[in-house]
Amino acid sequence: MPITRDDIRNYYDQNTRLFLAFNRSRKADNIHRSLWMDNVKTLEEALNVVNEKILREIESVAPTHARIADLGCGVGASLFYIVARLQAPTSAFGLTLSPVQARLANQFEKQANLKTRIFFAEGDFTSVPLANESLDAIYSVEAVVHAQAPERYFQEASRLLRRGGKLILVDDYLANRPLSHNEAKWLNVYINGWHVSGVITGEQAKVFAENRHLRLIKNDNLTPHLRLRNLPDGIASMLLFIGNRLPIERAILPSMLGSMALQQCLFMNVIEYRFLAFEKM
């Protein structure tokens, strides 16, 4: 059956508190992946590598008074980090499909004691309640893969960005090559376990963006900086067999199987973790 918005909403409503509970760095409540660059020493630094890269892109297009949005914001950790380091940002907006995440983000915003208010809302990032050309920069981290129609995400991002504004994406992208039967098996487990039916190739993302006047200006493969936890294929297949037969209905079990499958896909280069930046023409 096709993955629906309700499926994705329920997935995050059920799992977000567990994701945060298992976060080993209480100073960085990011739900995205850590990147271990050469100069990174701690988990907190690794979790914030993506935030730093996004911050630099925002500063390049709006050194002061930036108007930004995080579409697929989770509990707001990236926005808290970025807004605190921008020069006099004008406004910041976070949107998540999950009401649980929206409530947590608003609670954390009150505790953050930031000089600039961040507005968090529950909603669909293909229909954002903001005016045309009202933003200098938009970013999404590990979020567009959840879109049932990724081209609609690019359409909405283009509507929201001013001319010269930037769209920044950090996400999984399919390798642009035929897959073996085994590779396709693990890809399907990842898609179904994590509800990521919108995973596309980098080339598809470029085409969708160009159709909406967004020009690709940066395309970095971040996969080599992940610390993969892939298993020997036989062991992973045995765990998948067992997991599919456990009588557990909560979303955490397919999420765990999806996590295992993602590690297999990254190791086999079926999936690449990439940083893309686009400029509104």
**CATH number, domain containing residue 58:** 3.40.50.150
> What is residue 91's predicted lDDT score, i.e. its pLDDT?
84
| Strands 214-221 vs 135-141: parallel, antiparallel or unpaired | unpaired
66 HSE (CA, 13 A, CB side): 30
Enter the tokens of residue 180.
Answer: 């073996």
Kindly state whether residue 137 falls inside one of the protein's structural domains.
Answer: yes
Q: Per the domain annotation, does 184 fall within a domain?
A: no
Nearest to 253 by CA among 244, 261, 263: 244
50 with 170: CB under 8 angstroms? yes
Q: Does a structural domain hold residue 258?
A: no
Question: How far is residue 148 CA from its own chain's centroid?
Answer: 15
47 is a domain residue: yes
pLDDT at 110: 87
* CA 137 to the chain's CA centroid: 16
Residues 6+ apart with CB under 8 A from 148: 2, 3, 4, 5, 197, 198
- pLDDT number for residue 29: 59
In a domain, 180, yes or no: no
pLDDT at 38: 92
- For 73-115, the DSSP string reads -TTSHHHHHHHTTSBS--EEEEEES-HHHHHHHHHHHHHH--S
> What was the pLDDT predicted at 253?
85
From residue 249, give the alpha-carbon distance in Å to each of 14, 253, 263: 11, 8, 23
Residue 234 maps to a domain? no
Angle between helices 252-267 and 181-194 (to 10 degrees): 140
In a domain, 237, yes or no: no
**pLDDT for the residue 26:** 45
The tens place of each residue's pLDDT in the chain, 281 residues long, gives 788 999 999 999 988 888 787 664 444 456 789 999 999 999 999 999 999 999 999 999 999 999 999 999 999 999 999 999 999 988 899 999 999 999 999 999 988 888 788 999 999 999 999 999 999 999 999 999 999 999 999 999 999 999 999 999 999 999 999 999 999 999 999 999 999 999 999 999 999 999 999 999 999 999 999 999 999 999 999 999 999 888 766 667 888 999 999 999 999 999 999 999 999 99
Domain total in the chain: 1
Cα 26–Cα 28–Cα 33 angle in degrees, nearest 5: 115
Hunting for tokens 């009150």 — which residue is that? 110
Kindly state whether residue 25 falls inside one of the protein's structural domains.
yes
Q: What is the domain extent for residue 14? A: 5-175+197-227+271-280
The side-by-side arrangement of strands in the sheet containing 161-174 is: 118-122, 91-96, 67-71, 135-141, 161-174, 271-280, 214-221
